[in-house]
Structure 1
C-alpha cells in the first residue's frame, strides 16, 4: 500500500464539529468576498489565465430563488408586524438568506474554472477548488455526460477513480491524469477530505473555448 492509498483514521466527534464550524466560517467569509469581487468586477483568475463559466444550467434557478427571497422579506414583515421579536428575527434571517443567495451567485460568476500557464483549476461555487498542474495532466477532451441524481463526486468510473464536478448532473470535459493524483474536497472523509483520482470530469458552459485555451498550453 502506498502513501497515497493509506486510509486515514476516522475523525472524532470533536474533530467533525470543529471542521464543520471552520467550514461554515470559510463559506460565510467567501460569500462576502464573492460579493465584493462582483462589485469590483475582479474575478478570481490568475494573471495569464483565462476563466470559463459553469453557471448557465442553473442561472435561472438561482435568480428565481433570489427574487423569491427578496419578495418574502416584506411579506413576512407585514404578517408579523405586531409581534416585534418575531418580526426582527425574521427580518434578520431574511436579509441573511438573501445575502447568502446573492453571494452564491457571485461566487459562481467570480470563481470560474481557469486554464493558464500553471495548469487547470477546477472550481464550483463557494468551496470546490482543485488545482491540476500540466505535469499532472495527460489529456483533456470533450466528453459530455449526464449522471444520475445525487451521484457521488468520487466514484469508480469503469474501474478508474474519478472526480466529477457536475452542474445539474452534467459534465462536458474529461481530464485524464498522468498518474494517481491526490485532490482535496471540502469536509471530512468519506465524502470530503483527501482522495486519489486518475480522472476529473467537469462542466464548462463553453467547452470548445476551454479546449482552445488548453491547446495553447498542453
Structure 2
C-alpha cells in the first residue's frame, strides 16, 4: 500500500525548518539591534540600507500592534468567560509586536555591503549573496517598480535571465554579470542568472563606493 503521507511530509518538513530558521533569525536580529552596537564591517566596507521604502509601512504596523494589544485585552477580559483566553491573546499580541520589530531590526542589521573585493547583496536575514567584482560587468542606477510584491523574482528578458531582490516592489540598481551565475536563495540554488537587480536607498552612493574596483563598467543612468 502506498504511503500517501510521505509526499506531504517531504513538503512540510523543509517548510517548517525554513519557518523555524526565520523565527530564530528574527530574534537574533532583534537582540543585535537592541544592543545598538556598530555593524561588524571589514576594512574598506561601506554599508547601504534598503529599509527606507518600507519604513513607513512597518512603522504603521508596529504602531497598530501596540494599540491592538490593550484593546483586545479589554475585549477578551469582558467578553470571554474563559480566563486563560486573556493570557493567550495577550501572548499572541506581544509575539506579533516583537515579530514586526524583529523584521524591522533584521533589515537594519543586514545592509548591502560594498567592499574592496565585491558586492554583498542582502535582504533581511534570508538572503546573502556575494558577487566578486571580477564577475561584475557594470552597475547601473535605474528605478523599477514591479507588479508583484514578492521579494525574490525571476524574469526572462529575451535570452537573458534576471533575478530581482526587491524591497517594496522596487529595485534601484542593476548588476550586469560577465557570465551566467547561480545564487543561493531561500528555496535553493537558482538557475544561472545574467543580471541581478536590487534595491538600495542610496543608489548614487553605492555606485560611488563601487568606483575604483575591477567593475570599471560602472555607470549611472
Q: If the length of structure 1 is used for normalisation, what is the TM-score?
A: 0.86
For residues 27-79 of structure 1, the C-alpha deviation after alignment (integer angstroms, 9 at most, x for no partner) is 11111111122122346554121110111111011001001011111111111
150 and 103 in structure 1: CA distance in 2 versus 1, 3 angstrom threshold: closer
- 2:15 alignment counterpart: 20
Shift of 1:26: 1.1
Identify which range, 52-61 or 159-168, moves more after superposition. Answer: 159-168
Residues 180 and 194 of structure 2 are in contact (CA less than 8 Å); yes or no, is this contact kept in structure 1?
yes
Is the aligned partner of 1:124 residue 2:123?
yes
Q: Distance in 1 between matches of 2:38 and 2:164?
A: 23
For residues 94-143 of structure 1, the C-alpha deviation after alignment (integer angstroms, 9 at most, x for no partner) is 11111100000011111111111231111112312211122221211112
**Secondary structure, counterpart of 1:132 in structure 2:** strand
Residues 50 and 201 of structure 2 are in contact (CA less than 8 Å); yes or no, is this contact kept in structure 1?
yes
40 and 217 in structure 1: CA distance in 2 versus 1, 3 angstrom threshold: farther
Q: Distance in 1 between matches of 2:110 and 2:37?
A: 10
Identify which range, 173-182 or 134-143, moves more after superposition. Answer: 134-143
Is the aligned partner of 1:40 residue 2:23?
no
Is the aligned partner of 1:75 residue 2:74?
no
Q: Distance in 2 between matches of 1:44 and 1:163?
A: 27
- 1:215 alignment counterpart: 211
For residues 174-206 of structure 1, the C-alpha deviation after alignment (integer angstroms, 9 at most, x for no partner) is 00111111112112xxxx543321100011100
Shift of 1:146: 1.6
**Alpha carbon RMSD of aligned pairs, Å?**
2.0
Q: Distance in 2 between matches of 1:143 and 1:20?
A: 34
Shift of 1:144: 1.6
- The gaps in structure 2 that reach 5 residues or longer are 1-6, 215-221
Q: Distance in 2 between matches of 1:213 and 1:101?
A: 31
Residues 182 and 189 of structure 2 are in contact (CA less than 8 Å); yes or no, is this contact kept in structure 1?
no
Q: How many residue pairs get matched?
A: 204
Structure with higher Rg: it is 2
Shift of 1:14: 2.9
- 1:162 alignment counterpart: 162
Q: If the length of structure 2 is used for normalisation, what is the TM-score?
A: 0.85
Q: Distance in 1 between matches of 2:49 and 2:92?
A: 30
